[in-house]
């Protein structure tokens, strides 16, 4: 069997059904063999960066290892997506074809040292030097991507190896590594017992779940532990959906990206914090102030990777898979041992209720404006409860993270807040929809991100995907305007627009040009009507909403609110939009 066919045969044996890529001359030998593998769908993208974002969201939505590929000339375009996946611990295989290695020093067109650029942003990077290495390297890549601290693995394939013959005796798969976690292990029993004792001694316990919890499929274990001990549960923005946000124990998203004043205050007031599958990064901890390391409290951290255990806080470390370790702790939680948490749960309910009253009052004050808060609430009450959401950074992500409550737990969202590069939401929705063909998928983006990935709307239409996109149009890179506003603590001058502002764009016409149905509205009521229409009809749709830039309507970011309050600006320039 030649090496090109061997590659496809290996993917087939791992149960791969979807590959995201973009064609190039150096990969043609693989394409010639593809018709023999009708079970592996090839999803052609318009940009190699998008192919990685699609594989990223596909992995988040399905729990399978994402697969993407690109030619030598496009390998550099894949870097933003691979870097995001590496920092966010998203398992994927990244294949790049290449020119013959013996021609690179002769200045062969499109040839460069791919290994050097992928080395720092992947778990491993391999260069295939002969076709017979492919089965071994593919097995190693799946094991590495799906085990331990998951992440992307890169395989570089010079095009001249595709004709090499490979012994069929070498072609076999280790199928348990086709999804993640590939293998599971729990923290030691003594460590689980110690953690249980600490939890049972607490009266104000909080659990903060990160994306590692979602990767582990730990939502049932999280719910069982929370209910058994009366523990409040918050999530990082990347783990939104791990816990039902309508539950009385839910804090929703906490931290600096999606966290609210009342929920962050509950974290501050806790006497024990259990971190599960979170890197305790700056976004989740509001710059390592939430919790404040100077305030003494007990902390436990569960993580599959030694590099994260106690990295930013002094903790009782439990190394192991999130789901298995939580069940291990549950074995030592004695019935009735945590009755003292009832007042803690009651306090959370009171604070949540007070906050909801403020929120409802503010929402009524908006009238019919399609404020991002109103959009989030409309989505909550309109879309099916198993809908999967893909978000671009900016107001596209922050408002839904704070105000769109997800009542059903599981794999529900794709955010890219490890790096936060623009242009994620449109391709991410495509990857998620391909992985979840029977579920609704909604992509939420902004006009800044739209410019990075608009071409993928054609991809969605060509592939016949039922996706509804919602676009916030504030004619600017609004997050930059908001950051500058709170840094200056004064309104921005008109000439600052040279750095951030766009000309007017008719996004409905752009969408229609790609074959979508397009809608525009400046009315919340009309948006709800259009949304229901989009949900009832098949195909790819786009709804453009007129919005204001973030310096005129600061989103719910705790650090920004502190700046505004210190400058006495909380009621100026649309600052009434801050609902923390």
The C-alpha angle with vertex 355 and arms to 354 and 358, in degrees rounded to 5, equals: 95
Q: Pick the last residue of a domain from 177, 203, 220.
A: 177
129 domain-assigned: yes
List the CATH number of the domain containing 87. Answer: 3.40.50.970
Average pLDDT over residues 452-462: 98
Segments forming the whole domain that contains residue 465: 366-577
Residue 103 has a pLDDT of: 87
Reply yes or no on whether the pLDDT at 570 is more than 70: no
Reply yes or no on whether the pLDDT at 502 is more than 70: yes
What's 244-307 look like in SS3? CCCCCCEEEECCCCCCCHHHHHHHHHCCEEEEECCCCCCCCCCCCCCCCCCCCCEEEEEECCCC
Query: What's the first-to-final CA gap in the chain, in angstroms?
Result: 61
Between 100 and 202, residue with greater pLDDT: 202
407 domain-assigned: yes
Residue 564 has a pLDDT of: 72
Distance CA 533, CA 92 (A): 35
Q: Measured on CA atoms in the order 490, 492, 493, 494, is the torsion positive or negative?
A: negative
Average pLDDT over residues 308-317: 96
Average pLDDT over residues 42-69: 98
Q: What's the gap between Cα 189 and its chain centre?
A: 32
Average pLDDT over residues 424-435: 98
206 domain-assigned: yes
Residue 580 has a pLDDT of: 65
472 domain-assigned: yes
Distance CA 237, CA 556 (A): 13
The per-residue pLDDT for range 437-452, each reduced to its tens digit, is 999 999 999 999 999 9
Residue 101 has a pLDDT of: 85
Looking at the structure, tell me whether residues 336 and 375 fall in a common domain.
no
Average pLDDT over residues 322-344: 90
Q: What's the gap between Cα 523 and its chain centre?
A: 29
Parallel, antiparallel, or unpaired for β 467-473 and 316-319?
unpaired
101 domain-assigned: yes
Q: Measured on CA atoms in the order 369, 371, 375, 380, is the torsion positive or negative?
A: negative
294 domain-assigned: yes
Helices 3-13, 134-146: axis angle to 10 degrees equals: 30
Looking at the structure, tell me whether residues 205 and 173 fall in a common domain.
no
Q: What Cα–Cα distance (Å) separates residue 283 from each residue in 63, 278, 427, 488, 534?
A: 24, 11, 23, 22, 33
Looking at the structure, tell me whether residues 297 and 251 fall in a common domain.
yes
Looking at the structure, tell me whether residues 399 and 449 fall in a common domain.
yes
| Whole-number average pLDDT of the chain | 94
Looking at the structure, tell me whether residues 238 and 297 fall in a common domain.
yes
Q: What Cα–Cα distance (Å) separates residue 467 from each residue in 5, 426, 512, 514, 537?
A: 33, 10, 15, 14, 10
Average pLDDT over residues 317-321: 98
Average pLDDT over residues 475-489: 91
Q: What Cα–Cα distance (Å) separates residue 88 from each residue in 68, 125, 183, 419?
A: 17, 18, 19, 8
Cβ-contact 166, 1 below 8 angstroms: yes
Where does the pLDDT of residue 553 fall: very low under 50, low under 70, confident under 90, or very high at 90 and above?
A: confident
The mean-pLDDT minimum among 77-81, 246-250, 532-536, 554-558 falls in 554-558
Looking at the structure, tell me whether residues 144 and 33 fall in a common domain.
yes
pTM over the 0.85 mark: yes
Where does the pLDDT of residue 559 fall: very low under 50, low under 70, confident under 90, or very high at 90 and above?
A: confident
In three-state secondary structure terms, 178 is coil
The per-residue pLDDT for range 194-243, each reduced to its tens digit, is 999 999 999 999 999 999 999 999 999 999 999 999 999 999 999 999 99
> DSSP string spanning 136-168?
HHHHHHHHHHHSSS--EEEEEEEGGGTTSB--G
Cβ-contact 420, 237 below 8 angstroms: no
Looking at the structure, tell me whether residues 171 and 247 fall in a common domain.
no
Q: Pick the last residue of a domain from 289, 316, 346.
A: 346
Looking at the structure, tell me whether residues 322 and 412 fall in a common domain.
no
The percent of residues above 90 in pLDDT, for the chain, comes to 87
166: left (phi over 0), alpha (psi -120 to 50) or beta: beta
Residue 551 has a pLDDT of: 87
Reply yes or no on whether the pLDDT at 574 is more than 50: no
Residue listed under structure tokens 């590929």: 69
Two tokens, residue 69: 């590929």
Say how many domains are in the chain.
Answer: 3
Reply yes or no on whether the pLDDT at 58 is more than 60: yes
Distance CA 370, CA 176 (A): 46
Residue 353 has a pLDDT of: 95
Q: Pick the last residue of a domain from 311, 346, 381.
A: 346
Distance CA 60, CA 416 (A): 11
Looking at the structure, tell me whether residues 168 and 308 fall in a common domain.
no
183 domain-assigned: no
The mean-pLDDT minimum among 27-36, 224-233, 568-577 falls in 568-577
Looking at the structure, tell me whether residues 195 and 173 fall in a common domain.
no
Looking at the structure, tell me whether residues 547 and 484 fall in a common domain.
yes
Where does the pLDDT of residue 573 fall: very low under 50, low under 70, confident under 90, or very high at 90 and above?
A: very low
Contacts of 486 (CB under 8 A, 6+ apart): 554, 559, 560, 563, 564
290 domain-assigned: yes
Parallel, antiparallel, or unpaired for β 388-391 and 441-446?
parallel
The per-residue pLDDT for range 341-384, each reduced to its tens digit, is 899 999 999 999 999 998 888 888 889 999 999 999 999 999 99
Residue listed under structure tokens 């690179």: 104
Contacts of 77 (CB under 8 A, 6+ apart): 47, 48, 49, 70
Average pLDDT over residues 379-402: 96
Looking at the structure, tell me whether residues 151 and 238 fall in a common domain.
no
Q: What is the DSSP letter of 26?
A: G
Phi, psi (degrees; rounded to nearest 5) at 487? -75, -45
């Amino acid at each position: 069997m030649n090496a090109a066919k061997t590659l496809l045969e290996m993917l087939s044996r791992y149960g791969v059904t979807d590959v995201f890529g973009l064609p190039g001359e150096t990969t043609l030998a693989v394409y010639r063999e593809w018709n023999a593998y009708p079970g592996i769908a090839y999803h052609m993208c318009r940009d190699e960066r998008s192919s990685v974002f699609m594989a990223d969201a596909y992995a988040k939505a399905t729990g399978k290892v994402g697969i993407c590929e690109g030619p030598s000339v496009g390998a550099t375009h894949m870097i933003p997506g691979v870097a995001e996946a590496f920092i966010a611990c998203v398992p994927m295989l990244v294949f790049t074809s290449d020119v013959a290695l013996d021609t690179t020093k002769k200045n062969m067109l499109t040839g460069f040292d791919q290994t050097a650029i992928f080395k720092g942003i992947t778990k491993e990077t391999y260069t295939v030097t002969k076709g017979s290495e492919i089965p071994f390297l593919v097995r190693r890549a799946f094991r590495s991507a799906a085990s331990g601290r998951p992440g992307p693995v890169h395989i570089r394939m010079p095009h001249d190896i595709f004709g090499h013959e490979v012994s069929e005796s070498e072609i076999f798969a280790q199928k348990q590594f086709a999804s993640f976690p590939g293998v599971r292990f729990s923290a030691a029993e003594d460590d689980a017992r110690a953690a249980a004792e600490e939890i049972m001694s607490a009266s104000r316990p909080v659990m903060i779940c990160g994306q590692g919890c979602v990767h582990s499929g730990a939502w049932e274990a999280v719910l069982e532990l929370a209910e058994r001990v009366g523990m409040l549960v918050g999530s990082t923005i990347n783990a939104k959906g791990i816990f039902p946000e309508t539950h009385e124990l839910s804090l929703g998203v906490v931290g600096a990206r999606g966290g609210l004043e009342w929920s962050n205050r509950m974290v501050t007031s806790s006497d024990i914090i259990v971190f599960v599958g979170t890197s305790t990064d700056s976004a989740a901890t509001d710059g390592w102030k939430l919790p404040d390391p100077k305030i003494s409290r007990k902390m436990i951290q569960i993580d599959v990777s030694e590099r994260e255990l106690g990295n930013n806080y002094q903790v009782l470390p439990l190394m192991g898979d999130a789901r298995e370790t939580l069940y291990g702790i549950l074995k030592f939680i004695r019935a009735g041992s945590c009755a003292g948490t009832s007042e803690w749960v009651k306090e959370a309910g009171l604070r949540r209720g007070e906050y909801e009253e403020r929120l409802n009052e503010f929402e009524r004050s908006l009238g019919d404006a399609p404020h991002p808060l109103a959009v989030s609430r409309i989505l909550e009450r309109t879309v099916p409860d198993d809908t999967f959401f893909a978000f671009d950074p900016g107001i596209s992500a922050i408002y839904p993270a704070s105000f769109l409550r997800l009542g059903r737990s599981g794999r529900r969202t794709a955010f890219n807040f490890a790096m936060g590069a623009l242009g994620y939401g449109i391709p991410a929705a495509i990857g998620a929809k391909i992985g979840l063909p029977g579920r609704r998928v909604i992509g939420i983006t902004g006009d800044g991100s739209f410019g990075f990935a608009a071409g993928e709307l054609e991809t969605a239409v060509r592939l016949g995907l039922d996706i509804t996109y919602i676009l916030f149009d504030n004619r600017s890179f609004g997050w930059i305007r908001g950051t500058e506003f709170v840094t200056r603590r004064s309104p921005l001058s008109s000439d600052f627009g040279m750095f951030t502002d766009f000309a007017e764009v008719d996004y409905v016409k752009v969408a229609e040009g790609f074959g979508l149905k397009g809608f525009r509205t400046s009315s919340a009521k009309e948006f709800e009507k259009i949304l229901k229409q989009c949900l009832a009809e098949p195909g790819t749709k786009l709804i453009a909403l007129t919005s204001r830039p973030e310096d005129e309507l600061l989103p719910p970011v705790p650090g920004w609110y502190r700046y505004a309050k210190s400058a006495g600006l909380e009621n100026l320039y649309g600052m009434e939009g801050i609902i923390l």
